[in-house]
Amino acid sequence: MTSRDDDALSWAGDDDPTLVSAPAPAPVAGPGSARRQRDEPVDAETDVPGEVSAEAPPEGLSNAALISLGVLGGIYLLYSVGWFVGGIRVHNLSGLLGIDAAVSVPVLVLAVAAPAIWFIATYVLTRGARAWIRFAWLVAGALLLVPWPFATLGAGS
């Protein structure tokens, strides 16, 4: 009979002969050995160590990159809100200037959507590029897309 400690480390049916256990890990070769390590990328066509095939999944972003991406995404979301609030104020003033609503409404919609379009386009178009290139384009967009109507006129009453 097994003790309670041994019961905690086993499952019912562990002794089933039809179960397939995971293969044992291969021993790591020494520095003078000709064998490859398992973590080293290998090109599927040429089987050369150190080269990565085109089908290899892209590396994930680091924690700092994910946090920076979230902060920049939040800035772009605030820019959309700023363009909406400032754009509504300019839209109300445009009636006084004689600008037709058929012109000012589509411009307002595009101005509100511009930060989201820039963020998504940058993220999609720079998927294969280095992380610093993606962040350079996102920072450039954050500098270019400042909601000037909101910054100059404010929310007002």
Q: Specify if 100 maps to a domain.
A: yes
Q: Let me know: does 112 contact 84? Beta carbons within 8 Å.
A: yes
Percentage of residues in the chain having pLDDT higher than 70: 59
Q: What is the mean pLDDT of residues 138-148?
A: 91
Q: Rounded distance, CA 130 to CA 26, Å?
A: 33
Full residue range of the structural domain in which residue 114 is found: 67-153
Q: Which residue has the higher pLDDT, 46 or 106?
A: 106
Confidence of residue 102 (pLDDT cuts 50, 70, 90): confident
Q: Rounded distance, CA 135 to CA 55, Å?
A: 25
Q: Specify if 35 maps to a domain.
A: no
Q: Let me know: does 90 contact 81? Beta carbons within 8 Å.
A: no
Nearest to 65 by CA among 136, 121, 135, 140: 135
Q: What is the mean pLDDT of residues 111-130?
A: 92
Q: Specify if 20 maps to a domain.
A: no
Q: Is pLDDT at 108 greater than 80 in this prediction?
A: yes
Q: Let me know: does 147 contact 77? Beta carbons within 8 Å.
A: no
Q: Which residue has the higher pLDDT, 77 or 1?
A: 77
Domain count, the chain: 1
What's residue 124's pLDDT?
Answer: 93
- By mean pLDDT, which of 5-19, 36-50, 121-135 is the weakest? 36-50
Q: Let me know: does 70 contact 78? Beta carbons within 8 Å.
A: no
